[in-house]
Amino acid sequence: MSGRRPRADRMVALLEKRYGVRRTPGWLETPLDVAVHAIVATGAPPAVGDRGYQALQREFVDWNEMRVATWREIGDALDRAHVPDPGARAVALKRALQQIFTRLNRVSLDNVAGMELREAHAYLAGFSDLPTHAAGAILYGRLRGAGIFPSHGVVRVSERTGLVRRGLTPGRAAESLEAQLPRRLHPRTHQLFGIVSEEFCLPKEPRCPQCPLGGTCETGVRTIAEQKKAEAAAAAKAKASAPAKAPSSVKAPKKGQSPAAAKARPARRPAPARKR
Ligand code: SF4
């Protein structure tokens, strides 16, 4: 036995290092509280995430008041709590709350609490502006789900990394990923792969050079190598088509000398007379 960790395990460890392992605090009251906390806290140290969430609670009467606030007001509240990337988090919060309100005519996800797990997963997946890791926090942290839910983003990352064969149904793909990981890693794998799918592994144009999995993912390694090759070819082409350098024999005119005179070849000195 080589003692090396399996590939899926190593990828999860890499992402944990980048985003941290975040447990859903028990003091959050509703499913929507859990989702808001996940958006605020992901990627930040636990104390910072909690502080950001509590700052929002203080500054807004409820989540509906936050929904109608501008993203700048939300971002400023997070900034004052020293939460990193306050603007991006504010936009994500506002979009998620707005979509929930548009669909349900209320700002609440309390109905999820009474659903069976798979039903809750399908229901939350219908909110495209609710980040996968926030939905995962509700499913795992609130509803005590187990296994890996077959979210589109999670399946996309699993396929592109080469962990799961392409063309399987989402359910089979999730099962295949589950089989490669210890059970205790299933919830955080869903959430971490969800973050990668939203930040880097976009459906049309994956951002492999920036992705934390870029060095280990099958697609990432290939894409980065192809990009480097294309850049090198473009640089070589640009160099070949650059105008040739002016000959070094062209001298700058001396003080008081016209450029034409500087360019003119110096007159040959007469050869010294030969001694007889
Ligand atoms: S390296 Fe590229 S293809 Fe692989 S997970 Fe990251 S973004 Fe997706």
* Residue 172, pLDDT score: 95
Rounded to the nearest angstrom, the gap between the alpha carbon of residue 186 and the centroid of all alpha carbons in its chain is: 20
Nearest alpha-carbon partner for 137 in 21, 11, 14 = 21
How far is ligand 1, taken at its centre, from the CA of residue 77, in Å?
Answer: 33
Q: Is the CB of 201 under 6 A from ligand 1?
A: yes
Q: What is the DSSP string of the chain?
A: ---PPPHHHHHHHHHHHHH---PPPTT--SHHHHHHHHHHHTTS-HHHHHHHHHHHHHHSSSHHHHHHS-HHHHHHHHHHTT-SSHHHHHHHHHHHHHHHHHHHSSS--GGGGGS-HHHHHHHHHT-TTS-HHHHHIIIIIIS---S----HHHHHHHHHHTSS-TT--HHHHHHHHHHTS-GGGHHHHHHHHHHHHHHT--SSS--GGGSTTTTT-HHHHHHHHHHHHHHHHHHHHHHHTSPPPPPTTPPPPPTT--HHHHHSPPPPPPPPPPP-
Tens digit of each residue's pLDDT (9 = 90 or more) over 72-102 = 999 999 999 999 999 999 999 999 999 999 9
User: Under 8 Å CB-to-CB from 238, ≥6 apart: which residues?
Assistant: none
Q: Between 270 and 107, whose confidence is greater?
A: 107
CB atoms within 10 A of CB 38: 27
Residue 140 has pLDDT above 60, yes or no: yes
Dihedrals phi, psi of 265, to nearest 5 degrees: -65, 140
Residue 106 has pLDDT above 90, yes or no: yes
| Ligand 1, atom 7, residue with closest C-alpha | 201
Average pLDDT over residues 36-64: 93
How far is ligand 1, taken at its centre, from the CA of residue 193, in Å?
Answer: 10
Which pTM was predicted? 0.77
How far is ligand 1, taken at its centre, from the CA of residue 152, in Å?
Answer: 14
Q: Is the CB of 156 under 6 A from ligand 1?
A: no
Tell me if 37 sits within 8 A of 131, measured CB to CB: no
Tens digit of each residue's pLDDT (9 = 90 or more) over 244-254 = 655 544 454 45
